[in-house]
Amino acid sequence: MAKQAAGELWSDSGFVFTTRYGTPLERRNFNRRFVDRSVRAGVRQVRPHDARYVAAVRHVKAPVGRSLPGL
């Protein structure tokens, strides 16, 4: 969808999370957006690394054959 919207301005970087033009996100901008969205969602603020760690631990501890919402 973003690729279509960007049209000829799209840069195929191969990254999963990119800017609207397909270029890699800068860490500073990603962290700022992560905090903004956490505030809007009303959840406790954590570092992106911590959120990834919690998701990984919950996935590993989940019973076999049970998928976690959002993963």
Q: What is the tens place of the pLDDT at every residue in 12-35?
A: 888 888 898 999 989 898 899 999
What is residue 3's predicted lDDT score, i.e. its pLDDT? Answer: 84
**What average pLDDT does the structure give for the chain?**
86
- Counting residues of the chain whose pLDDT is more than 90, the rounded percentage is 27
Residue 39 lies in a domain: yes
Helix axes 27-41, 48-61, angle to 10 degrees: 70
What is residue 40's predicted lDDT score, i.e. its pLDDT? Answer: 95
Residue 56 lies in a domain: yes
Number of domains composing the chain: 1
Contact 58, 48 (CB under 8 A): no
Residue 37 — pLDDT band, cuts 50, 70, 90?
Answer: very high
Rg over alpha carbons for the chain, rounded to the nearest Å, is 16
Round to whole Å and give the CA distance between 63 and 33.
33
Residue 44 lies in a domain: yes
Residue 69 lies in a domain: no
Query: In terms of residue numbers, what domain contains 8?
Result: 2-61
Residues 48-70: what's their mean pLDDT?
80
Residue 71 clears pLDDT 60, i.e. is over it? no
